[in-house]
Structures are given as structure tokens and as C-alpha cells.
Copies of this chain bind each other. A is one copy, B any other.
């Protein structure tokens, strides 16, 4: 296969971890006879500095004309705690999601047996956890009309959903559930919100098309609890944008393997693949960041092209590295640790 991949390294440790994912992907391409054309582009604070915009038009054109986007991380402390900042890196992220039509954020949470003890949860609570959130990513309160009235004294944010938006996300959820243990949980707040009632009634109406899928409906507050109590009771969860933001982050820390969790954002055509961790500014340039989440995001990318053997080769290399202790200091438990690029090299050599 010939693949054009837009490469958005972003801020902080983004460039370092992306470099390792490129190495590993190139090794995969070599072994399985693919050709990858990497197309670097600016985003985040790096793009603001260079051209005054977190998601410049040139970057969008590169993404839109590629087969996929591999993304590092964005965000820089100098933009935090300044609610009035006019240009923020996050705006670039939101614009990118919207313009690329990335309406479904796929966020798996699974456990690595060798990392179970890193979890804040007791072992018996997380063992066997293997769930996936499908978070709606281009609608809801993130994109509704927002602003001020009465000379700034009143602020408002509008949450809006159309039935079609719910359907296309739910469809992906049902389809994913069919490939897994056929359990789907629709997370909403239908006892309070009208948008949630639209979600619930839309999903209820789709149940008949997937008779094998067992669908449950849970309130977002109840899920926030059960994720901590019995994460392994979930399989596929679908939810709206803001609930998904909160719950996927909550879920990410329960496994103990947060530094290893990949994600995909999918839409009609181009997928975007990125680690769930942030730009980790304190670690920038120190060659200590864990590249595995980004490398596993590349695995998701291959799998999304239907290249499952390629994806598996990456996952196996990561498992092997974990078992053999070829890890960055965050996973070294005070033992021997390796640098970001050494781990990348090792993984590339073990494809």
C-alpha cells in the first residue's frame, strides 16, 4: 500500500514521541512492503508561534489530502490560566476535528498484565478490563453558540445535537460492539437534558437493527462511579462530547497504563491517531517521555487501513518490550530505564 500520512508533532514531548512512531511505522512498512510518505505540518502552540494560528490552512490542506493523520500532543503552559487569551492551541484541535469531520473518538482502556500494579485500583477491580469509549467529537456544547450578554455578566454555552449526529456515532458503536462482546452502554443524562433524551430515544430506535447487541442506558454520574468500581463490567460505551471528555480521561487512569493508551478519531474518510496523554511540557527535550502510546496509535492507524497483521506486529513488539523491561523511567519502577529514542529504536528493530 502507498500511504500518505500527515505528521502533526505539535508541542512539548509531541515531536519526540512522534519520531519513535515514525521509526516503528517505517520498520513495519519495510517489512510488509508498504510505502509511507510522511507529510509534516504545524499545529498547536508551535503553529501559533510560526504563523499565528493553531491549525493553519496549509496544515488542513495537508491533512485533508492525506490518508491519515498521526498526531503528537498540543498545549503549552503559557496559554493556561488565561481565560481571555484570544488564540489558544485547543482552538486548533477543535477546528481540526470539525474540518476533518472526525466525529467519533475511539478511546480504548485495557490492561497490560505486567502493569496491573501501577493502577490506583486494586488488582481484582481492574483485571480483565477491556473497554472502549466512542465519544462524539464534533457536536454538543463544544460547538454550540457561546458568548456573553449584559456587558459580560452573563455567559452561555449552547448544547445542540441532531438525530443524524447521534445516529452516525451510535452506528459505529453498534458495529464495534458486534466485533466484541456485543454489549453497548449508552451514557447520558436523560433525566435532566433534552439532548440526552434525543440520544436515548435515537439509540433505542436503532436497537432493532442490531438484535444481537445487548444495550444498556446509564446516567453519566452512575458511569463515573461504576468506572471506578467495576471497570471490567463495561465493553463499548457511546456518549456525547463533554461526557466523553470527562469519562474517557477518568477511564484512562484506572488501568495503570495511561502512558500507553492510544486513540483514534474517525470520520467519513481520514482518521487521526494520537496518544491520549498531553504535551507534558516539563519533560520536553529530556528524552524521557514514553513513546509507546504514540507507537500504539500508529498500530491503530494500520488496523484502520485494514492492515491487521501490521498492527499486530507493533502490539507484539510493545508487549515484548514491556516483558523485557525495555521501558522509559515512568514504567521502570526505579530499575533500569531507557530513553525515548532507545525504546523507539528497540521497537523498530523488533518488528
Residues of A within 8 A of B (CB): 81, 83-84, 88, 90, 94, 120-122, 125, 141-142, 144, 146-148, 150, 152-164, 189-198, 200-201, 204, 217, 220-222, 224-225, 227-229, 242-243, 245-247, 249-250, 252-254
Contact = CB atoms under 8 A, between A and B. Distances in A.
A196 B222 CA distance: 24
9 contacts: A83-B197, A88-B191, A141-B141, A154-B163, A155-B160, A155-B194, A159-B159, A220-B246, A225-B253
Contacts of A163: 152-154
A148 B194 contact: yes
A246 B239 CA distance: 14
Nearest to A188: B83
| CB-CB nearest 9 A-B residue pairs | A155-B198, A83-B197, A146-B194, A224-B250, A221-B249, A155-B195, A157-B159, A155-B194, A90-B191
A142 B83 contact: no
Nearest to A230: B120
B159 A154 contact: no
Nearest to A162: B154
A316 B225 CA distance: 28
A162 B151 CA distance: 11
Contacts of A125: 120
Contacts of A152: 163, 198
A247 B224 contact: yes
A187 to B, nearest CB: 10
Given A121-B122, A228-B228, A159 B161 contact: no
Given A146-B193, A157-B158, A222-B249, 19 more contacts: A83-B190, A83-B196, A90-B191, A121-B122, A121-B228, A146-B195, A155-B195, A156-B161, A156-B194, A156-B195, A189-B242, A220-B245, A220-B246, A221-B249, A225-B249, A225-B253, A228-B228, A228-B250, A229-B253
A119 to B, nearest CB: 8
A246 B224 contact: yes
Contacts of A225: 249-250, 252-253
Nearest to A154: B162
Contacts of A84: 197, 201
Nearest to A201: B83
Nearest to A192: B142
